[in-house]
């Protein structure tokens, strides 16, 4: 089974938009880059999406290829156009530099309103980059929703095959 992105990690963003990809995330990106070998810099894809998306989503090359293959199978029309806009037009492929960093363009820094820090959030097959305040608000809203459901907050109940451990 492939490695997954996990954890919430706050990283410094310098004035030029340089930010370190968390080391555990780099291992997942290396594994998900079919052209990567020891000594090379892994590639990744950042999807910044439409103006309604208040985070940037990071994908391995392999994961993005799978999404684009699915889009290619869609019939022509509005849904396919929307998916192509979000995942092809509003994305960028880049390499991680020798020090483990990427450079967020001024457009991406402005989109998120980054001012010195960003939160990298692993969500399994992808990761998201958030402004710390936006992420805190998102988490608070999700946690309030979980509490309001009143199901004992045991989220394993939502799984097809809940684990006991």
Residue-wise pLDDT for 14-34, tens only, equals 999 999 999 999 999 999 999
pTM: 0.89
Q: Are 128 and 108 in contact (CB under 8 A)?
A: no
Domain ranges of the chain: 8-133
pLDDT in tens, 89-130: 999 999 999 999 999 999 999 999 999 999 999 999 999 999
Phi, psi of 29 (to 5 degrees): -65, -40
Quick check: helix, strand or coil at residue 58?
strand
pLDDT for position 161: 67
CA distance 59 to 22: 14
- For domain 8-133, give its CATH number from 3.40.1550.20, 3.40.1180.10, 3.40.718.10, 3.10.105.10: 3.40.1550.20
């Amino acid at each position: 089974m492939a490695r997954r992105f996990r954890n919430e990690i706050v990283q410094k963003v310098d004035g030029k938009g340089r930010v370190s990809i968390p080391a555990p995330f780099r291992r997942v990106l290396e594994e998900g880059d079919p052209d990567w070998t020891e000594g090379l810099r892994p590639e990744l894809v950042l999807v910044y999406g439409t103006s309604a998306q208040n985070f940037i989503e990071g994908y391995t090359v392999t994961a993005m290829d799978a999404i684009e293959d699915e889009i290619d199978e869609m019939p022509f029309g509005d849904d396919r156009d929307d998916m192509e806009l979000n995942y092809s037009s509003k994305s960028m492929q880049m390499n991680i530099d020798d020090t483990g960093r990427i450079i967020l363009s001024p457009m991406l820094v402005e989109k998120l309103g980054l001012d010195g820090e960003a939160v990298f959030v692993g969500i399994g097959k992808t990761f998201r980059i958030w402004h710390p305040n936006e992420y805190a608000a998102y988490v608070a809203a999700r946690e309030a929703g979980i509490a309001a459901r009143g199901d004992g907050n045991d989220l394993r109940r939502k799984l097809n095959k809940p684990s006991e451990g």
